[in-house]
Structure 1
């Protein structure tokens, strides 16, 4: 059974969403403030943390920073009413796997959780799940079933949003995507905020990729850049 840490200070929201999680056979441990969440992290093991940001004591972003320092492989979803671009960029720069804005349909949240857990579970159990011939492929390869990208057979430590962005560009290398088109591919129609969030994801991807595989097309957006092409920032 997957273990979920759910940080939410509003009792009604916490009770309703936790009940939906339990109906899907998740084992849910609830926390109402950031200090309690950190204490639970120190004493128990979790597969996924769902964190509100504005909570008493330590904020959800501070709990996220603690998780990334102490438990870097743990999946994290930020669940918050804050829809401003600055906060979202800050969360993704801290390597949150997803950012979900309240109010949210419980079913949508559960789908996001399922997708992220499927990807992170694959990472922990590799290389047995994926065929070794595929894993030995040189350059970039994409495993769409596991939501995982590889470079020269090595798994890349991407968040879900980073993976979806890279996969979108990789699958249509001749196409130039606008930021708005990429937002629809990553968040569907649930994202509220400035399209410059895509720039933050590209910046993080460029740090994680062994070479720059994303070309900036000035005035339009982004395109996949095959190895050997001129620097994609041009």
Structure 2
């Protein structure tokens, strides 16, 4: 069963989200505080967490951070009433997969949750194989990334980006192409989500993120995984 945690302190908004998710066939668990959400996550397995940003006590950002410390496989969508670019970027940099700005239509939120669930489910059902590129190994069985034999904690979105790069080594991939392949053609958000996730991925895999060796920027277009860096022994 597709299980979603909804963290929202305003009862009317939370109930509005819950009703629409249940209509779409999701099993929904409710939380009104960050503390409640963390307790639920310690005792329940969920596929996706929908987190309101502005909460008293432990806010949505902190819940997202704690989720990512413990589990990289849970999909995370942030709900925010703020439209400042930095609030969106902060959530993505903490490991969120997507964000939705209030007010939002129920169809948009359900579509984003459904798209994220399909992406996570697709990754979980990948064949038991791997891609090796220089110091990296992308293991589909474990759904993990290794560099020089050491595991790197990445989200499922970052896993999908790495897969896309390693399957298209040396090819310039446009931001639109990456967005379609990783987030889906029905994604409603800004294309800047690609840049934020690439920046976050670079911080995890590059020795010097400010001078990336593996993920190369194709200015005015997108990104390229440098094929010559997949030579054995790099």
TM-score (normalizing by structure 2):
0.70
| Cα drift, residue 173 of structure 1 | 6.2
1:75 and 2:88 are equivalent in the alignment: no
Show the 5 A alignment for 1:14-33.
14-33=14-33
1:97 and 2:94 are equivalent in the alignment: no
Q: Which residue of 2 aligns with 1:205?
A: 201
1:217 and 2:218 are equivalent in the alignment: yes
Show the 5 A alignment for 1:144-159.
151=138, 155=143, 156=145, 157-159=154-156
Aligned-pair Cα RMSD in Å: 3.6
The CA distance in 2 between the partners of 1:158 and 1:184, in whole Å, is 16
Q: Which residue of 2 aligns with 1:113?
A: 113
**Equivalent residues of 1:78, 1:96 under 8 A apart:** yes
**Could you say which structure has the greater relative contact order, defined with CA pairs below 8 angstroms and 6 or more residues apart?**
2
| Cα drift, residue 20 of structure 1 | 0.9
Instruction: Report Cα offsets for 1:172-199 as digits up to 9, x if no partner.
Output: 965574x6x5797558684369x5x544
* Paired positions, count: 210
1:160 and 2:157 are equivalent in the alignment: yes
The CA distance in 1 between the partners of 2:4 and 2:55, in whole Å, is 18
Instruction: Report Cα offsets for 1:155-174 as digits up to 9, x if no partner.
Output: 45444377469749976965
- Runs of 4+ with deviation above 6 angstroms: 168-173
Show the 5 A alignment for 1:32-43.
32-43=32-43
* Alignment counterpart, residue 191 of structure 1, candidates 189, 192, 195: 189
| Structure 1 residue ranges without an equivalent (≥5) | 141-149, 230-234
Q: Which residue of 2 aligns with 1:53?
A: 53
TM-score (normalizing by structure 1):
0.70
| Cα drift, residue 78 of structure 1 | 0.8
Going from structure 1 to structure 2, the CA distance change for 1:175 and 1:130 (only over 3 Å counts) comes to: closer
DSSP-derived class of the 2:29 partner: strand
DSSP-derived class of the 1:228 partner: helix
The CA distance in 2 between the partners of 1:160 and 1:20, in whole Å, is 25
